[in-house]
Structure 1
Amino acid sequence: MEQGHWFTSNQFEIVPGEDQQTNPGCYGQALANWLANKLTERGYTTDVFPEDWGWCVLCQHSEYMLWVGCGAMPTEDFDPDNPPTAHQLVWHVFPHIEIPLLDLRSRVRQWLGKLDLETPLQELDAELICILETEPSVRFCGEV
């Protein structure tokens, strides 16, 4: 599976001060909220929260955590007093799945081959592709 999807879009404006919740220049709150709404429409129960690298859309938390990372690729001319506009950024979203570190039951099930992590990850990636491909403002670019 590829390591995510890169695209441009003028739809996801920078929320003033959003990188105070992440790290300087780590944007993606509007994108994460938009994706959370789209994934909720498709049956996922979502939660959006900041991480030090950008924004996380949690899609499932049971035996594993299934989530989408959202962020903008860093710009060389980053100015904290003058954040870029949406059309100046390349956005990156990527699906991820993990077993919580202390969830021993799920780890044992995975080791025994009784916990499928690949299928839900592939399904989430397919949903991401569909959501992005049907959004007119999204223009895919190659890996950055």
Structure 2
Amino acid sequence: MSKDMLTRVIGCKSSFQIWDKIHAYFHAHTNAKARQFRSDLRSTNLDNRSISDYLLQIQSLVDALTAIGDSVSSKEHLDIVLEGLPEEYESTVSLISIRFDELSIEEVETLLLAHESCLERFKKKNLISVNILETPSSSNPSTLQP
């Protein structure tokens, strides 16, 4: 038994009291961890990450909760994923939300990855358009010097 744990059980008269103290300590510690993991889940959002990184972060927190006996339902998991997405994903979030049958996390991941890919293509097209508009043209009379 560790020194830390030994100090917690000093004064116990029976093995039952020792076990009860140890159980209470680890139960409180586990509950605190579960609250922290759930808080982290609620505050997780996409920020500047890729969809893959975002979903992996959520999955690792869900797995951590499951490992300590506080499982997350698939519906709750899906809600957490959708709530952390920014406005630019609203069309995909709406599509997923209005479905009668519940999609699996894997199906949602596929939809979100496709949406992310479309957003990237759109951003590249806009960047190219902006660069073309901002590049001075040699035929523009205002750029020619007399």
- With normalisation by structure 1, the TM-score equals 0.23
User: Based on CA coordinates, which of the two structures has the bigger radius of gyration?
Assistant: 2
- Normalised TM-score (structure 2): 0.23
* Higher normalized helix content (fraction of residues): 2
Higher relative contact order (CA 8 A, sep 6+): 1
